[in-house]
Amino acid sequence: MVINSKNFIQVGRIGRPKGTKGLLRFQCFLHDHREINDFKIFYLENSEKIELKLVSFDSKGPIVTINNYTERSKTENFVNQFIFLEKKYFDKPTKEDEFYIYDLEGLDVINKKKECVGVVSSVVNFGAGDLIEILFHKSKKKEFFRFTKDEFPEVDLSEKKIFINS
C-alpha cells in the first residue's frame, strides 16, 4: 500500500546520517520542529509505520532517531524518504485566511471574468513568503504568484476554487 494524500499529510523528509549512533538530520515541514515529539507513529511513503523522535538540534536543523536505532547502518536506508502523519491529527486552521497546503493544491483558478484559467499545482515557500504555482490551461505552462490577499482575494474550499486578480 502506498500513502495517499486524502488521509495523510507530508510532514518532513529524512536527511543524511549524523555520526555513528543512528542519528539522522530531518527536514521538518511542521510549524514548530519541537512538535515532532507530540506524535508517536509516523509513516513512510510505502505505509511502513515508524517511530520518530526529536533528540537535538544543530546548525543545520533537527536531529532525530528512528525506531530507537542506535547504529548508523540500520538508519541509512531511511535517508531521503518522506515522512507522513495522518490528517486526523491536524485541526482545521482557526485563523481567517489560513490554509493547509493540501487544501490549496488542486483548486481551480478563476479570473476576474469568472473563467477557469488553470489549477493550483503546488504551494511553496523559499523563505520570503508563500508562492502558488498555477498550471494554466491554454498555455500548458506553470507560473508562480505570491500568495497575498491582493493577488488572491478569495479562496472557496467548499467549491474548490481560488480567485485571482491577474
121 HSE (CA, 13 A, CB side): 13
Three-class DSSP category at 101: helix
The fold of 101-163 is SH3 type barrels. (2.30.30)
CATH architecture group of domain 8-89: Beta Barrel (2.40)
Distances (CA, A) of 161 to 17, 116, 143, 146: 42, 9, 17, 17
pLDDT tens by residue, the chain, 166 residues: 567 667 888 888 999 999 888 999 999 888 788 888 888 899 998 889 999 999 998 888 899 999 999 999 999 999 999 999 988 887 666 567 778 887 898 999 999 999 999 999 988 877 778 899 999 999 999 999 999 999 999 999 889 999 999 7
Looking at residue 56, its pLDDT comes to: 92
Phi and psi torsions of 45, nearest 5°: -60, -30
Would you kindly state where each structural domain of the chain is located, as residue ranges?
Answer: 8-89, 101-163
